[in-house]
Amino acid sequence: MKYSVVLVVLVAASASAHCAGRDETPKCNPNGSTQESNACVYNELDAADREMNSVYKSKLASLPKAARDALREEQREWLKTRDPQCKDDSKDMEGLSGWVSEFYGCVASATRERTQYLNVWKPAR
């Protein structure tokens, strides 16, 4: 009997460790489940955000102090408005399964637009 209890505990611990090591994050599949479709949008936003940050840092490094300060302030103001604007734009989908895709798709799109803007940004004279 004692051996059976130990065996059950070991099997349970092994199964738990196996499950804990699995990657539970859904993989991107635009035609898959809601979670898989959302994973695609998250990946898109992550890529857009990394690109924008790279362009932003590069632009800052190329500017004199006054222009860096101006761009930094402008970027902060833009960041304050991006998510609320996308939330407003996707309010008709709120509570529905497509809301995540709608909202984060908007954020990714706004971020890509901002990256294009940053690429050509010049300080005011």
pLDDT at 23: 59
How far apart, in whole angstroms, are the C-alpha atoms of residue 77 and residue 88? 17
pLDDT at 123: 85
What architecture is the 29-120 domain classified under in CATH? Up-down Bundle (1.20)
pLDDT at 26: 86
CB 63 within 8 A of CB 71: yes
Q: List pLDDT tens digits, range 51-81.
A: 999 999 999 999 999 999 999 999 999 999 9
pLDDT at 90 over 60: yes
Percent of the chain whose pLDDT exceeds 70: 82
The burial of 11, by beta-carbon neighbours within 10 Å (0-12 exposed, 13-18 middle, 19 or more buried), is given as exposed
Phi, psi of 95 (to 5 degrees): 90, -10
Q: List pLDDT tens digits, range 12-56.
A: 444 444 444 455 788 999 999 999 999 999 999 999 999 999 999
